[in-house]
Each structure stands twice: as C-alpha cells, then as structure tokens.
Amino acid sequence: DIPTVMMGQVPNSNLYSVDIDNFASAEMAVKHLVSLGHWQIACIVNAPAPYSSATQRFEGYKSTLERAGIPYNENLVRFADFDAQSGFQQMQSLLNSKQKITAAFVASDNVAMGAMAAIREAGLSIPEDISLVGFDDVPLAAFATPELTTVRVPAREIAIYSCHLLVRLIRGDIPENRTVTLETEFIPRGSTREIGRRVY
C-alpha cells in the first residue's frame, strides 16, 4: 500500500511508471543509418537481455532491419553491461570477428564511448570507416570526438513527471493510466556519414 512510481518499467508489473518508447526510439536510430545507405549494421545492446530497455531497443533494431529488407545477422549483435568498458570489449569482439560492418547502433551513450575507443585503437576512423549512433544523449556525447549522433532521452522530464505522479498517488488522486510515455528526439551529429542514399 505504499505509493510507488517507477522511472522505467519492469515486465508484468502493475506499478505506475514514467518511461520512453525504447522500441520506437531504437527504430528511429537504426532507420537513420539505413537512410544513409548502411546495410551491415552491428548492434551493441546497452545491457544484458533480461533488462526491459535492452530487450526493447534490441527488438527495435531487428524490426528496422526487417522492414528495410536487410537480413538479420546474430553475429553482428553483442550485449554490453551499461558502462564504457563493456562497450570497448564488445566492439573489440565485433572487430576481431572479422564481420564486415559499416555502422553500429550502440544502445547507450556510455557504452558507445567505449565502442568509440575500441574503433580508434583498431586504427579505424569514425565515421569514415564505421558510423556510430548512441542512445540517451548524455552530456559528454556532444563533446566526444567526433560528436556522437544519438537519441535524446528526456531524463529531467522523466524525473519531474514521476514526482508529480507520486504526489498525486499520495494525495489519493489515482490516475486511470498507469504508464506515462514521454517523447525522445533524434540528435544527428558528426559520428555518422552517408555511404549511398537509400529510400526508406
């Protein structure tokens, strides 16, 4: 009976929550890469598969490939663990696999920072050799080299909406809708480039 609001969601939970549409936001990111002519698009998921945001972002990646007529290749997918070190390791794994990639969707900016370091260590350039799209738009994304193309998550607004919703619950003002979904925004920067225009 304790009023509770989650920032994010847990599968099969009836708790009130404030979140984004991770699936649609991932689609937006991968669609950008497809529109630039990329077909060999790797994916480094932001977290292990049991996390709901990771699953939704991964499914958004797969859905976009399918709608673009690009065969899904499980060898181009890695699962990170929230931080830059895991992004570095998973990008190294992709590069060492000798799988041909021209772009990567990295479903977390923190993870993407590590992935960028691994690409540079391998003697490759961003976006000349590999285009990169992140997710979150953390403050450092705009100061990366090159600046990171990403999906902006309205973190401050999520916190504000969550607090407002919690106050309503405490006061006994029970909303009918248990989930508030806020909009994300695609932020194009310097880490992606066109290799052949494709109508999507």
Count the alpha carbons within 13 Å of 148 in the hemisphere toward its beta carbon.
31
Residue 170: pLDDT band (50, 70, 90) is: very high
Q: What's the confidence (pLDDT) of residue 197?
A: 65
Give the pLDDT confidence of 101-112 residue by residue, as tens digits: 999 999 999 999
Is residue 105 within 8 A of residue 43, CB to CB? The reply is: yes
Q: What's the confidence (pLDDT) of residue 200?
A: 55
Q: What is the pTM of this model?
A: 0.92
Is residue 38 within 8 A of residue 99, CB to CB? The reply is: no
Q: Where would I find the H helices in the chain?
A: 22-35, 52-67, 84-96, 109-121, 155-170
Give the pLDDT confidence of 75-134 residue by residue, as tens digits: 999 999 999 999 999 999 999 998 999 999 999 999 999 999 999 999 999 999 999 999
Give the pLDDT confidence of 144-160 residue by residue, as tens digits: 999 999 999 999 999 99
